[in-house]
Each structure stands twice: as structure tokens, then as C-alpha cells.
Amino acid sequence: MANVKIENVVKRYSNVQVMHGVDVDIEDGEFVVLVGPSGCGKSTLLRMLAGLEEISDGTISIGGRVVNDVIPKDRDIAMVFQSYALYPHKTVFDNIGFPLKMAKQPDSVIKEKVTKAAEVLDLDHLLDRYPKQLSGGQRQRVAMGRAIVRDPQVFLFDEPLSNLDAKLRVTMRVEIKELHQRLGTTIVYVTHDQIEAMTMADKIVVMRDGRVEQIGSPLDLYDHPKNVFVAGFIGSPSMNFVHGTIAVKDGKKVFLSDHGLELPVPENNARTNQAVTYGIRPEHIQVGDQGVPMKVVVVEPTGSETQVFAKSGPELIDALVKDRISAKPGSELCYMIDPANVHLFDRETEQRI
Amino acid sequence: MRSNKLGWILLAPTLLILFFFGVLPFVYVVFVSFHQWNPFAASPEMIFNGADNFRRIVFDSAFLNSLGVTVAFVLFAVISEVIIGYMLAQAFMREFPGKAFFRTIHTLPLIMAPIIVGSVWKLMTTPSIGIIPHYLDKWFGISMNIGTSAPAAFFTIVVMDIWHWTPLVTLTLIAALVSLPRDPFEQAQIDGANKRQIFWHITLPMIAPALIATVFIRLMDALRTVDEVWMLTGGGPGSSTRFLGVHIFKEVFPKTNYGYGSTISVIVLYLTIVVCWLLYVSMLAPRNNRKG
Ligand SMILES: Nc1ncnc2c1ncn2[C@@H]1O[C@H](COP(=O)(O)OP(=O)(O)OP(=O)(O)O)[C@@H](O)[C@H]1O
Ligand SMILES: [Mg+2]
């Protein structure tokens, strides 16, 4: 167990810079999730933590020790690669048992731990197979098994559940959380899955183009996104954005979209006529019989909830409704917005107001 | 089925050539090996003598000596070539100034005909004029005479073979190493393997197919080395470097003993096959039927 400190880390590949001064503080035993669009540098950061990638500038310390020049083997970390990285010439059993074998554990211990991990991962019937005889999801579970048989200082997971079916994913999610609670090991976890990020993380790090956009607890990011990017990235379906300006009506500030739609705003210190981006999450749009009218364009029922795309004047609005609604495309509905749920961003700087 | 027929038609020229230049001569050699045949002697006709040649070979001390010398030579040469070749291949996997240049010139020995290699090494090792004995004497006070010292002759041939054929091993191993995926090596580092463990558990098993193929090629070539040895020592001093190839050559050409020469060839071929098979089984089989 150890804390991890990433300070002003920069990564350059010959002449391209892909990481521009990343700072992340990870407490001992914390579950940190890295999210961000494809190519933003999540894997690169993980590889630098593992010691597989040289750190061009800045420092990384694990457990108070600067590890910039420490080789991977001596960092005491376990990692699940995005590409699984199984040993093609070893059976599933030998793949999972490899780290234990390298640690010179007795055969009986290896056998016991591997068998246990295989049970957890539902791999017990595949132990004699070679990686090329497995499906993508099975390979991913083998990679996972190779990590969880160990008791390292830090776990690094690079999208470890991306190839599993929905049911298995939920099981594995629980399994990983359980592992975390049992061992209390620090975990850095990369994912594209919103639910994984929100449910598993103590702390989420949102990255974009090799920079950290915001760090915070899942609900903190959900409630108080620092800028338009984080607001749009966290939450699914993603937030509605409407461009417009702040106007004053009857002595009260309101939002006036570029196309003339008027919406309520919370208490704020935006200037009158300031160009802003108005953000409201689909689940915060109350669809009903009262309020602003809108014309339904598309209805997407998912069973538990219904997603409605509608036009309010010229603006396209995405609303998420808990109940089944029988609206057909073209029909009229109304919606209301609680100003408390509104996020306002400056249009120039994209920062929260 | 139509494409199958087309396949045979396309293969036909190769098969015909293989038949006339490979299968037919082989069958003919086997045929001759059961005869006494001295085509340039007073009675040049082929006389069938059953297994006499094979019986003779078992007690032929000259042949058994050749066999021993050859096996020793093959072991020394091929093992050294594989080890040095692997180290060179690893060195060429790294970046260093002039890499492309060195990689090119290190293969030059490969394109030289064995007979040339033999004559060049003869020039370099002949006592009193050769550069190697000269400097060995000057720097280390060692006197080297391949004309009189059996070990000197033997190890000169070993070194010559290493010099000549290591680049082949290096080239095939570079090809094997370049095509390896990078992930398992990174994962092994994470899993706590040190350099030695990575070599034994990851690198070696993953390049094993290429390595075995290379060893086969070198083994088969080394077992029938003739030209360089013929050029360098002529099989001497005494019969200390009279390798199987040289032995057959001397049996067949000066003595024109075609029947017995063929018998030795057949036996050498058989031994080659046995050695390769043993090697194949010992290196490849364990990983196909291992249980977890
Ligand atoms: N060897 C390399 N040379 C140059 N650029 C590289 C190299 N490896 C990665 N990059 C660049 O670094 C950036 C970050 O890559 P990285 O793999 O960390 O992205 P990621 O956030 O993990 O993406 P994904 O979600 O698709 O896995 C990308 O723009 C990529 O093109
Ligand atoms: Mg990645």
C-alpha cells in the first residue's frame, strides 16, 4: 500500500509532446479513476507510473520514494494492459501464476492462489488452454487474474473490463471493489465507462490532450464541473449546452439563447450581456404538461427510462424521463428547469461562472 | 477440386526437378551402397554384396574416428555460433552509431564460398607467414602450428566455422526478435521478472521455433563440412580433422571406392536425421503436452 504523487509530469516522444505537466495526488488506499477521450494520455500516464515509459520531466513518487529511475520490477505494481499482454506460449494457469513464480512462491501456494483467482474470474475450466484459444473477454479475465493474485503497492488497470459482456462487467466491477475493500490497495483505473467511473472511484481525474481538466469525487464532478469539457464528459447522456447571453428581465437575470429561447438561471455573478454557455443535464429537465413547450423529434425508450429528443423553438434538447411516456414524434410536450440544476459557463474561456 | 488440379500443374516443374535431382540420386546412392563398385579399377562392374558395406562400417576405425571428430566439431561450432549469434542479434536490436553499417559488413563472411574461406584461413594460419601464428607468438608467446598440432588444427577449424556461419544465426535471430510482440516483455517486467528470468521464460520460448530451425540448418551444414577443411588441413595432421565429409571424399575419389563411400553417406544422412529428430522432440514436445 502506498500513496502516489504525480508532479508536473511531462512526456515527449522525440518531438511531439503528449503530456503537458500533469499533477495528481493519490492517497494511500484510494481508488482513482482516469477518464478522458481516446488519445488523451491515460495509458501513457499509467505506463509512466509502471515505469514502462520514461518520464520526460517532473517526478512520480510511490510511497514517498521518487521512482523516476526505478525499473518496473522494483516498483511493486501490478498492471492490466489495455491489450491484455498475455504470454502466448504459456497456459492460462502459467499466465496467472507467472508473477508468483517470479516471486519464488512455492508451487502449492501458486496452485492455491491461481485456482482461487480462476474461480473468481470464472476461468477454472480454461486453465489448460493457451491464450490463442480464448475469446477476447476470457483473455481479459486472464490478464485480470494475473494482477489479482498479487498483493502489490499499487494496482494499475487500463480498461480491464472493456471487452466483457454487460453481466460479467457488473460482476467484475463488484469483484474489483471487493478486492479494493479487502486489500485496501491503491488503485489507478482507466475506463471509458461512465458507470464504472462513477460507482468505483473515490476520485476521478478527467484528462484532455495530456492535461488534467479536473480532479474530484464523482458527485463533485457531476455537480460542479469546472468547465464545459468536464460538464460534457461526465454524465451520461451528456449535458445539453445552449449558447446565448445573460439578459435582465423584470429585474431578474435570465438566459437568452442566440435563437431567442428564454431559460431560468440560478443566482450568479455573470455580467449582463455576457456571452455564456448554458448547461442542463437531460435528467434535470422535468417533462410534463406545464412550462416551456417543445416538439418531440425522437423518443428512445430503454425500459427503465425514456430519452426524449425535442425541439424547444430552434434548440435541440435532450431530456431523460424516468417514466414511460407515450409521446410520438411530432407531438407537443412541456418542460421545466429548476435553476438550481443549471450550470453556466463563460463562452470565451469555457470556465464555470 | 479444379484448383487442386491447377495446384499440381503449377507444382509439377518443382516436383520434377526435385525428383530428378533429389529423389533419384538419393535412391541411387542407397542402391550403390549395397554394392561393391570400383568403376576405375580393373573390374569396374557393380557387384552386389548385401549388407557387407554396412557390416564393415561398424568396425571401421577410420570411420568411427571421423564420426567422433565430426561430432566434437559440430558441438563446439554450433553451440558457439548460437550463443555468439544470439548476443550479436541482441546487440543489433539496440541503437548505436553505425548500426546499419556494422549489420551489413558482419554478414560478409556468409557470401564467401567455403573454398575461399578455407584458402584465406590457410594463408592466415600457415606457420611463419600467417598473421595469426605471428601475433599469437608475439603477444602471448604461444606457438601455433596447424600442420603439426592436432588441437590447433581442430580449433582453427572450429573458429573458422564460427567466423563463417555465425552471421547466419545472427540474421535469423534478428528476424525472430524483431517480430516479437513488445507487450509480454513489458508485462514480465511488471510481474517482477529479472533479465535472466525474462530470457528463460519469455524470450527463449518465443524465439524457439526460429532458433530450432537455425540450429537444424547449421547442424546439417556442419555435419557435411568439406571444402574449408579440405583446403585448410586436408584432414590432418594425421586424421585429427578428417571429418565425415572429408572421409567420404577420400574414400570415394582417391580410392574410387564408390560402393563403400555411398554406404558412409547413407549412414551420415541417417545420423543427421536422428540428431535433428531428437533435437526437435526434446525442444518442441515439452510445451505441447505440459499440464498446468
Ligand atoms: N510511441 C509513441 N510515439 C508518439 N506518440 C505516441 C506514442 N505512444 C502514444 N503516443 C501518443 O500519445 C497520446 C496518448 O496516448 P495514450 O495511449 O496514452 O491514449 P489513451 O488516453 O490511453 O487513449 P485510449 O483511450 O484510446 O486508450 C496519443 O495522442 C498517442 O498518439
Ligand atoms: Mg489507452
CB distance B35 to B47 below 8 Å: yes
| DSSP letter assigned to residue B39 | T
The answer to whether A141 touches A169, Cβ cutoff 8 Å, is no
What is the residue with the minimal CA distance to atom 26 of ligand 1?
A38
Question: Which residue of B182, B191, B283 to mutate against A (max A Cβ within 10 Å)?
Answer: B191
The pick from A22, A35, A43, A205 for probing ligand 1's pocket by mutation, whose C-beta has the most ligand atoms within 8 angstroms, reads A43
* pLDDT in the model for residue B2: 58
Instruction: Please give the pLDDT value at position A1.
Output: 65
Whether the full predicted model's pTM is greater than 0.90, yes or no, is no
CA-based nearest residue to A79, from B199, B180, B189: B189
- B192–A102: do the CB atoms touch at under 8 Å? yes
What was the pLDDT predicted at B292? 35
Q: Cα dihedral angle (A294, A300, A306, A312), rounded to 10 degrees?
A: -10
Q: Whose CA is nearest to atom 28 of ligand 1?
A: A39
Sign of CA dihedral A39, A42, A46, A49: positive
What spacing in Å lies between the alpha carbon of B67 and ligand 2's midpoint?
Answer: 59
Interhelix angle B114-125/B150-178, nearest 10 degrees: 130
Q: Mind giving me the DSSP string for B97-148? A: TTHHHHHHHTTGGGGS-HHHHHHHHHHHHSTTT-HHHHHIIIII-----TTT
Whether B267 has a pLDDT exceeding 70, the answer reads yes
> What is the predicted pLDDT for the residue at B150?
83
* Residue B97 clears pLDDT 70, i.e. is over it: yes
pLDDT in tens, A174-194: 888 988 998 889 999 999 888
CA distance A63 to chain B (A): 17
Using an 8 Å CB-CB cutoff, list residues of chain A that contact chain B: 50-52, 71-73, 77-79, 81, 83-94, 98-99, 102-103, 127-128, 146
Task: Please choose, from the candidates A295, A332, A325, the residue with its C-alpha nearest in 3D space to the C-alpha of residue A311.
Answer: A295
- Compute how many other C-beta atoms are within 10 angstroms of the C-beta atom of residue A253: 20
Instruction: List the domains of chain A with CATH numbers.
Output: 4-233 (3.40.50.300), 240-346 (2.40.50.140)
Answer for the pair A60, A167: CB distance below 8 angstroms, yes or no. no
* Ligand 1 atom with least separation from CA of A192: 25
Return d(Cα A70, Cα A65) in angstroms, integer: 10
Rounded distance between C-alpha atoms, residue B235 and residue B154, angstroms = 9
Return the number of other C-beta atoms located less than 10 Å from residue B172's C-beta.
20
Question: Distances from the Cα of A75 to the Cαs of A20, A23, A229, A240, B20, in angstroms?
Answer: 24, 20, 34, 44, 64
Nearest-CA distance B2 → chain A (Å): 33
B106: how many CB neighbours lie within 10 A of its CB?
16
pLDDT tens per residue across span B192-232: 999 999 999 999 989 988 898 898 889 888 888 888 888 88
Residues with Cβ within 8 Å of residue A299, at least 6 apart in sequence: A306, A307, A308, A309, A325, A327, A328, A329
Residue B71 CA to ligand 1 centre (angstroms): 53
> Which residues of chain A have a CB within 8 Å of the CB of B181?
88
Measured from the Cβ of residue A313, the count of other Cβ atoms closer than 10 Å reads 15
pLDDT in tens, B67-86: 899 999 999 999 999 999 99
Q: Which atom of ligand 1 is nearest to the CA of A40?
A: 21
Domains and CATH numbers, chain B: 26-59+256-292 (no CATH), 79-253 (1.10.3720.10)
C-alpha cell at B73: 566439431
Contacts 24+ apart (CB under 8 A), B85-91: B85/B166, B85/B167, B85/B168, B85/B169, B85/B170, B85/B173, B85/B214, B86/B169, B86/B173, B88/B166, B88/B167, B88/B170, B89/B169, B89/B170, B89/B173, B89/B174, B89/B177, B90/B177
Residue B287 has pLDDT above 60, yes or no: no
CA-atom Rg of chain A in angstroms: 24
Q: Which residues of B touch A (CB under 8 A)?
A: 181, 183-184, 186-194, 197, 201-202, 205-206, 287, 290-292
Nearest to B206 among A77, A79, A89 (CB): A89
Q: Which residues contact B240 (CB under 8 A, 6 or more apart)?
A: B69, B150, B153, B154
**Closest Cα in chain A, distance from residue B88 (Å):** 24
Q: At residue B224, what is the residue type?
A: R
Say how many C-beta atoms besides its own lie within 10 A of residue B147's C-beta. 13
Give pLDDT < 50 ranges for chain A: none
Please tell me whether the peptide bond between B237 and the residue prior to it is cis, using omega within 30 degrees of 0: yes
CB–CB of B129/B86 below 8 Å? Answer: no
Look at A238-252, B24-38, B253-267 and tell me which has the smallest mean pLDDT: B253-267
Q: Angle formed by the axes of helices B244-252 and B61-93, to 10°?
A: 140
Q: Which one-letter amino acid corresponds to residue B38? A: N
* Ligand 1 centroid distance, CA of A35 (Å): 14
- Residue B187 burial by Cβ neighbours in a 10 Å radius (0-12, 13-18, 19+): buried
**Percent share of chain B, pLDDT over 90:** 24
**pLDDT exceeds 50 at position B291:** no
- C-alpha cell of B91? 546487440
Task: Determine, for residues A87 and B202 on separate chains, whether the beta-carbon distance falls below 8 Å.
Answer: yes
For B269, the 3-state DSSP assignment is helix
Q: Please check the confidence at residue B138 and state whether its pLDDT lies above 90.
A: no
Residue in chain B lying closest to A115 (CA):
B292
Q: Which residues of B189-203 are buried (b: 16+ CB within 10 A; e: fewer)?
A: bbbbbeeebbeebbb
Task: Give the three-state DSSP class for B206.
Answer: helix
What is the average pLDDT value for chain B, to the nearest integer? 86
Query: Does A82 sit in the ligand 1 pocket, CB within 6 Å?
Result: yes
Is A42 close to ligand 1, i.e. is its CB under 6 Å away? Answer: yes
Nearest to A93 among B190, B192, B292 (CB): B292
A72–B190: do the CB atoms touch at under 8 Å? yes
DSSP letter at B199? I
Cβ neighbours of B282 (radius 10 Å): 10
Q: Quote the CA–CA distance of A246 and A267 in Å, as a whole number.
A: 12
Sorted by sequence, the CB contacts under 8 Å of residue B256 that are 6+ apart come out as B38, B39, B40, B41
Angle between helix axes B258-288 and B204-223 (nearest 10 degrees) is 170
Query: What pLDDT sits at residue B221?
Result: 87
Please tell me the residue having the least CA distance from ligand 1 atom 31: A39
Q: Is the CB of A47 under 6 A from ligand 1?
A: no
Q: Ligand 1 atom 3: the closest Cα is on which residue? A: A13
| B289 pLDDT higher than 80 | no
pLDDT tens per residue across span A256-304? 988 888 888 988 888 888 899 999 999 999 998 888 889 999 999 888 8
**Identity of the residue numbered B51:** A
Q: Which residue is listed with cell 431559460? A: A263
